[in-house]
Amino acid sequence: MAILEVNHIEKHFGNTEVLQDVSFSLEEGKALAIIGSSGSGKTTLLRCLNFLEVPDGGTISVKGEVLFDAARANKGRDAELRKKRLHFGMVFQAFHLFPQYTALQNVTLAKELLAKEQPDYKSRKNEILAEINEQGKDLLLQMGLEDRMEHYPHQLSGGQQQRVAIARALALKPDILCFDEPTSALDPELTGEVLRVIRELAEQKTTMIIVTHEMAFARDVADQIIFMDGGVIVEQGDARQVIEAPREERTRQFLTRYTQG
């Protein structure tokens, strides 16, 4: 069964239709890449999944549980919304690390705050915090940042910052991890290190949705690809097929523009 099911999502800002009838599903452990030119609604789609935007129509279900249904658009209490959000993780194009915290603190902060809600927090506080700290270190180690844990964001390169941001998102063990153009804000020589860790995550069967302009990367790392244009899904299918033998003319045109530079 699909871990994520997105059905008929609609979103408009004023009179602009930004997403129209967007439906797709994703299997557990698979990676989905979303490609498409700028303004096609990719970011908005990820923001809807993370409840940063409220869709005007459609449903979003994770593991069979309906998290969002526009028909029953109860705005939801803050606490409920927070729980729903935790099914998803988000890595932003511009990192958005917290500047006043070290790399390690960035990774552990949210988890520490969540732990306070555990019933046994008071009695096991030190133990719990030590665990969270260990987990944070492990994640940064996995990101190749073992010697950067005590650095503040401004002391890190863009590639390092984005890897911290990935660790931060992973710390809450989301069911589905979303990346919004994770390398677009990076100098070309720094994209490789970020793409490498995402590739490793794919190899470890992390369920992911990756918005990217790196076509070769999408083809090699993703299982599926969705091509969006003007707020609609024009084509979706097996990654290799969409890139190498697109069925739709618009996909073909988009890809030619990209491969020609």
Ligand X SMILES: Nc1ncnc2c1ncn2[C@@H]1O[C@H](COP(=O)(O)OP(=O)(O)O)[C@@H](O)[C@H]1O
Positions touching ligand X (CB under 6 A) are 13, 16, 18, 36, 38-44
Instruction: Find residue 5's DSSP bridge partners.
Output: 25, 61
Q: Which stretch binds Mg ion (CB under 5 A): 36-44, 67-75, 84-92, 185-193?
A: 36-44
CB 203 within 8 A of CB 195: no
Collect all residues with Cβ–Cβ distance below 8 Å to 63 and sequence separation of at least 6. 3, 175
Task: Assess 245 for contact with other proteins (CB under 8 A).
Answer: no
Task: Assess 96 for contact with other proteins (CB under 8 A).
Answer: yes
CB of 168 to other proteins, least distance (A): 7
Task: Assess 172 for contact with other proteins (CB under 8 A).
Answer: yes
Nearer to other proteins by Cβ, of 83 and 124: the residue is: 83
Residue 145 main-chain phi, psi, to 5 deg: -120, 30
Q: For residue 225, how many other CB atoms are within 10 A of its CB?
A: 26
Residue 68 main-chain phi, psi, to 5 deg: -140, 135
Q: Which does 70 bind (CB under 5 to 8 A by kind): ligand X, Mg ion, other proteins, none?
A: none
Please tell me the chain's helix, strand, coil percentages from 3-state DSSP, rounded to the nearest 5.
40, 25, 35
Strand (E) positions, the chain? 2-13, 16-27, 31-35, 57-62, 65-69, 88-91, 176-180, 208-211, 224-229, 232-238
The one among 74, 100, 126, 260 contacting other proteins by CB under 8 A: 100
Task: Assess 151 for contact with other proteins (CB under 8 A).
Answer: no
Nearer to Mg ion by Cβ, of 181 and 235: the residue is: 181
Task: Assess 86 for contact with other proteins (CB under 8 A).
Answer: yes
Q: Which stretch binds other proteins (CB under 8 A): 30-38, 86-94, 126-134, 231-239?
A: 86-94
The one among 19, 33, 40, 43 contacting Mg ion by CB under 5 A: 43
Angle 85-89-91 (CA atoms, 0-180°, nearest 5)? Answer: 135
Instruction: Please identify which residue in the block is written with the tokens 């190899």.
Output: 203
DSSP for 24-84? EEEETT-EEEEE--TTSSHHHHHHHHTTSS--SEEEEEETTEEEEEGGG-----HHHHHHH
The one among 97, 190, 211, 233 contacting other proteins by CB under 8 A: 97
The one among 2, 70, 114, 129 contacting other proteins by CB under 8 A: 114
Nearer to other proteins by Cβ, of 20 and 133: the residue is: 133
Residues interacting with other proteins, by CB under 8 A?
50-52, 78-79, 82-83, 85-86, 88-90, 92, 94, 96-100, 109-110, 113-114, 152-154, 168-169, 172
